[in-house]
Amino acid sequence: MTVTRRAAVLGSPIAHSLSPVLHRAAYDELGLTDWSYDRFEVDEAALPGFLGELGAEWAGLSLTMPLKRAVIPLLDEISDTAASVDAVNTVVLTEDGRRLGDNTDIPGMVAALREHGIEEVPSAAILGAGATASSALAALARICTGEVVAYVRSEARAAEMREWGERLDVDVRTADWADAAEALRAPLVIATTPAGTTDALATAVPERPTTLFDVLYDPWPTELAARWSMFGGAVVSGLDLLVHQAVLQVEQMTGRSPAPLEAMRHAGEKALAAR
C-alpha cells in the first residue's frame, strides 16, 4: 500500500487512544486505501517541533490532553466552537499549508444526545468541573433551556464553572460535591469525572432515572451507568461521544461525507471488548 495521505492522534499518554481504530475503520469503509492514521506520544513541549516537521502528505490531527489548549497559538485560525471553550481537538492541514483548528467534542456531544432522542432539556446537572465539563456546558448551551447545576469539589472550580456559564450564556449554579446525589434527579445528568469518581453515587440512583451521559468508555459500564440502566434510565456512553466526534473529524480531514458512523462504532466496540 502506498500512503499518500496521513493523519494521527497526538497526546500524552496516548497508548490507550481508540482514535486509530475508529479512523482506520472509516478509511476502510470509504475505500481510502492510500490513507493512514497513527498515534504519537507528544507533550506540550514537543508539539511545536512535531507540527513543524509535518510534510504535505499530512491531512489532519486529532488532539487529546494535554494539547487541546497548547496548540492554539500554533494555528492560523480556529473555529468559533473551539474559541468558545479555548480547546482544539481537531486540526485540518490545508494544501496551502494552513493549520485550521476546530472542536468536534461539542457537536459530538449534541449528536450523541440526539441519537438517543434528547433534542432539548429544561435543565441539567454536570458532575465535575474539568475541561470536559466546559465542553458539556457548551453543548448544553445548544439544547438546555433552563438552569445547569454543576457539582464540584472546590470553590475555585465552582468559580471556573460560573465563569464558563457567563461566557457561554448558560445559567449555571454550582453546588458542593457532597450533595452530588441530588444531581441524579435532573432531566439530564452529564458525568465528566475520572474513573471511579461517581461509583459511590450508584446507590443514589432514583427509581425512575431520566438520561445519564457518562463520558467514560473504559472501563464500561461504570457502576453509575450500570445501576442507571438497571433502573430503566437512558444511558449515553463515552464511546457514543468518541464515535460522533470522530465522525466529524473524518469528514473534515478527508472531505468525504457522511463518515460511516456504524462501522466506526462497531470497530470501537470490538476493540473495547478485546481489552
Query: Which residues belong to the active site?
Result: 68
- Give, as one character, the DSSP assignment of residue 170: -
CA dist 201 and 181 (Å) reads 6
Name the helix (H) or strand (E) containing 136. helix 131-143
By CB atoms closer than 10 A (0-12, 13-18, 19+), residue 45 is exposed
Is residue 202 within 8 Å of residue 231, measured between CB atoms?
A: no
The three cell numbers locating residue 266: 462497531
Cα–Cα distance for residue pair 38/267, rounded to 1 Å: 16
Torsion over CA of 207, 209, 214 and 217, rounded to 10 degrees? 60
Helical segments of 144-232, H only: 155-168, 223-230
Cell numbers representing residue 117 in the block: 432522542
